[in-house]
Amino acid sequence: MQLESMYQEIILDHYKNPHGRGLRDPFDAEVHHVNPTCGDEVTLRVKIDGDTIADVSYEGMGCSISQASVSAMYDLVVGRSVPEALETGEHFMTLMQAKGDPAVAEKLEDELEDAVAFAGVSKYPARVKCALLSWMALKDASARAMSAPQTGGSN
């Protein structure tokens, strides 16, 4: 079976016990992203203090890959500055375009932490969008939060 190369233990752990799940207040921007080919959805909020991502909260439905990806992303970006988080997102994108090349994964291992486990997903083009869904939502939400006056969103 090749399945283990995609469904790494770390991915299944994030899927079964997601980190940071649930929508929380306060927030500066909320976005809703869907993957129209399969119907996976994520609603994601960001709270930004200065230029630091103070919180990312989310609700979604989708496959193990999309759900585990948002959980691993939460661990990576909360507490980081927005530019740092977006740069990590770019590196995750690079990993997803690597078509399973182990050299790329090795290079990005330190920076991507648990998220490097998604390297196996990059061998399956149909699933890459699942892994990227939450990162796209984060990019969108951060851009909106940074361009809006920071009045606290709600509450």
Partner 1 sequence: MTQTASRPGAGAQRAPLPLDVEAIRADFPILTRTVRDGKRLVYLDSGATSQKPRQVLDAERWFYENVNAAPHRGAHQLAEEATGAYEEARSKIGAFIGAPENEIVFTRNTTEAINLVAYALSNAATAKEPEFRTYAVGQGDEIVVTEMEHHANLLPWQQLCERTGATLRWLGLTDDGRLDLSDLDTVVNERTKLVSVTQQSNILGTINPIAPIVERAHEVGALVMVDGAQSVPHQPVDVQALGADFLVFSGHKMLGPTGVGVLWGRYAVLDKLPPFLTGGSMIEVVRMEGSTFMPPPQRFEAGVPMTAQVVGLGAAVDYLQALGMDTVLAHEEALTAYALDKLAEIPGVTVIGPPDTVARGGAISFTVEDIHPHDVGQVLDDLGIAVRVGHHCAWPVVRRYGVPATTRATFYVHTGYDDIDALADGIRAAQKFFGTV
Main-chain phi, psi angles of 87, to 5 degrees? -65, -40
By C-beta, is 52 or 64 nearer to partner 1?
64
Tell which residue, 58, 111, 116, has the closest CA to residue 80: 111
135 near partner 1 (CB under 8 A) = no
65 near partner 1 (CB under 8 A) = yes
152 near partner 1 (CB under 8 A) = no
Write out the binding residues for partner 1, residues 11-40 only, by CB under 8 A: 12, 37-40
Among 64, 109, 123, 140, binds partner 1 (CB under 8 A): 64
> How many other C-beta atoms lie within 10 A of the C-beta of residue 140?
16
103 near partner 1 (CB under 8 A) = no
2 near partner 1 (CB under 8 A) = yes
- Minimal distance, residue 61 CB to partner 1, in Å: 5
What is the spatial distance between Cα 7 and Cα 83, in angstroms, rounded to a whole number? 30
Main-chain phi, psi angles of 5, to 5 degrees? -70, -30
- Minimal distance, residue 96 CB to partner 1, in Å: 16
What is the spatial distance between Cα 125 and Cα 37, in angstroms, rounded to a whole number? 13
